[in-house]
Amino acid sequence: MQRIAAILLSISTLLFVACGGGGDGEAKKTRFIAIGTGGVTGVYYPTGGAIAKIINRNTRRHGLKATTEATGGSVFNINAVLSGDLDFGIAQSDRQYQVYNGLAEWKGNPQPRIRSVFSLHSESVTLIASDPSDIWTPADMKGKRIAIGNPGSGHRGNALDALWASGISLDDIIPEDLKPAECAGMLQDGRIDAYFYTVGHPNGSIKEAVAGTTPVHFVPIVNIDTLLKKNPYYTYAEIDIGHYQGVSNQENVPTFGVKATLVTSSDVPEEVVYTLTREVFANFDDFVNLHPALSGLKKEHLLEGQTAPLHPGAERFYREAGLME
Ligand code: GLU
């Protein structure tokens, strides 16, 4: 009997230690949080990974453990956050505006529970074509095979807007629904003529497209003024060709852009969002060093470009840190 009691005692001690009890300070119950990112050759995927890495360094102290998921991108992430399948998701600022106001994929169906946490890097609407496709201006896309983005991506909407601004309809091209991770290889093989990707630079997809034997180039977007007048969430942008050795362009390429943002839902507890925000800000230098597309980011940029109301957990942190009145 005594033996059994001793065994039971040591099992419960083991469990207590395994759950983070004892030692320094009180035991924190671990709460898992899932962060939706994008395709593996984009910037969302490593950015989500960078956030998770920072969170998981101190799980024992604050109790959060983050996992990341490769996903179809912004629209998928927003919907998964709203349904509770994900706790956080990275999403383009234009998509944040649209879901909150009931536009585009959410036409007539605004989602008031969407919440912003912070902004991340800038993303530019990127149209990359093979030199043999002979697409040098958007009008040349007529009759060509163009990857406009998978459903669930953020960039599909930007591709449609860029086509519209060029006076081209979907009937004028052969549209493909490919995921970004498939596009670089297919561009190289000549199975597509060009693809759209709204993404931070540099990124793995464009690096892969540029590194192949088929020469490729960025196509400048036209009528950007008209696009900006019609859509309050777009800004002027430029692709810095210095990121891509071997691309055929001689100059930086004009386009329009958005910001990547981190979103959550009003259903996620204040403490969870507060902790995530605090940890990322406290480790900001490490965070921006984890991917070159994050390198230009400053703390003050993180509060720009959000449309949905701030989550109260993020707001609490910004007030405490003196970043907000
Ligand atoms: N902007 C893209 C999207 O929303 C994803 C870009 C990335 O993964 O870096 O689908």
Q: Which of 258, 292, 309 is the last residue of a domain?
A: 258
Q: With 80 as the cut, is the pLDDT of residue 1 above it?
A: no
Same domain assignment for residues 127 and 232: yes
Model pLDDT, residue 9: 42
Residue 41 domain boundaries: 2-121+260-320
What pLDDT score was predicted for residue 12? 43
pTM over cut 0.85: yes
> Of the residues 243, 258, 273, which one is the last residue of a structural domain?
258
Is any ligand 1 atom within 6 A of the Cβ of residue 106? no
Instruction: Examine residue 161 and state whether it is found in any structural domain, yes or no.
Output: yes
Sign of CA dihedral 92, 285, 70, 255: positive
Q: Which residues pair with 118 in a beta bridge?
A: 262
Mean pLDDT in residue range 230-257: 97
In a domain, 325, yes or no: no
- Do residues 252 and 264 both lie within one domain? no
CATH of the domain at 207: 3.40.190.10
151 and 211 inside one domain: yes
From the CA of 279, how far away is ligand 1's center (Å)?
24
- Taking only the tens place, the pLDDT of each residue in 164-216 is 999 999 999 999 999 999 999 999 999 999 999 999 999 999 999 999 999 99
Cα–Cα dist 58/53, whole Å: 9
Whole-angstrom Cα distance, residue 255 to residue 263? Answer: 25
> For the chain, how long is the longest CA-to-CA vector?
85
pLDDT tier for residue 16 given thresholds of 50, 70 and 90: very low
**In-domain check, residue 203:** yes
Considering the domain architecture, whether residues 299 and 273 belong to the same structural domain is answered as yes
C-alpha 89 – ligand 1 centre gap (Å): 11
Neighbours of 273 (CB within 10 A): 27
> Of the residues 51, 69, 71, 74, which should be mutated to test ligand 1's pocket, given the most ligand atoms within 8 Å of the CB?
74
Asked if residue 237 and residue 164 are part of one domain, the reply reads yes
Q: Does ligand 1 have an atom closer than 6 angstroms to the CB of 257?
A: no
- What's the pLDDT score for residue 234? 97
Question: Are 253 and 130 in the same domain?
Answer: yes
pLDDT exceeds cutoff 90 at 325: no
Contacts of 63 (CB under 8 A, 6+ apart): 20, 28, 29, 30, 31, 275
Same domain, yes or no: 195 and 112:
no
Tell me, in angstroms, the distance from the centre of ligand 1 to residue 39's CA: 7
Give the residue from 258, 285, 310 where a domain finishes. Answer: 258
- The count of domains in the chain is 2
**CA distances (Å), 179 to each of 61, 71, 167, 182, 185, in order?**
38, 10, 25, 6, 11
- Asked if 149 and 116 sit in the same domain, the reply is no
How high is the pLDDT of residue 7? 45
**Whether residue 258 has pLDDT greater than 60:** yes
Q: Is residue 289 part of a domain?
A: yes
64-73 confidence digits (pLDDT tens): 999 999 999 9
- As a whole number of angstroms, the distance between CA 130 and CA 188 comes to 7
Closest atom, ligand 1, to C-alpha of 260: 1
Instruction: Look at residue 28 in the predicted model and tell me its pLDDT.
Output: 75
Distance 30 CA to ligand 1 centre (A): 30
Structure confidence at residue 6 as a pLDDT band (50, 70, 90): very low
What six digits make up the tokens of 161? 């807007």
Q: Alpha-carbon distance 280 to 75, whole Å?
A: 24
3-state secondary structure of 166: coil
Q: Quick check: is 172 in a domain?
A: yes
Q: What pLDDT score was predicted for residue 185?
A: 98
Under 8 Å CB-to-CB from 134, ≥6 apart: which residues?
Answer: 140
pLDDT in the model for residue 175: 98
The answer, yes or no, to whether any atom of ligand 1 lies below 6 A from the CB of 198, is: yes
Segment 130-176, tens digit of pLDDT: 999 999 999 999 999 999 999 999 999 999 999 999 999 999 999 99
For ligand 1, atom 6, which residue shows the shortest CA distance?
199
26 confidence band (pLDDT: 50, 70, 90)? low
- Looking at the domain assignment, is residue 291 inside a domain? yes
Is 264 found in the same domain as 254? no
- Summarize the chain as % helix, strand, coil (round to 5): 45, 20, 35
Residues 65 and 111 occupy one common structural domain: yes
- Please report the pLDDT score of residue 300 as a whole number: 87
153 lines ligand 1 (CB under 6 A): yes
Q: What is the DSSP secondary-structure string of 97-158? A: HHHHHT-GGGTT---TTEEEEEEEEEEEEEEEEEGGGT--SGGGGTTSEEE---TT-SHHHH
Q: Is the pLDDT of residue 261 over 50?
A: yes
Would you say the CB of residue 42 lies under 6 angstroms from ligand 1? yes
Query: How far is it, in rounded angstroms, from Cα 126 to Cα 136?
Result: 13
68 half-sphere exposure, CB direction, 13 A CA radius: 22
264 and 116 part of one domain: yes
Residues 135 and 219 in one domain: yes
* Residue 152 beta carbon below 6 angstroms from any ligand 1 atom: no
- What is d(CA 137, CA 268) in angstroms, rounded to the nearest whole number? 45
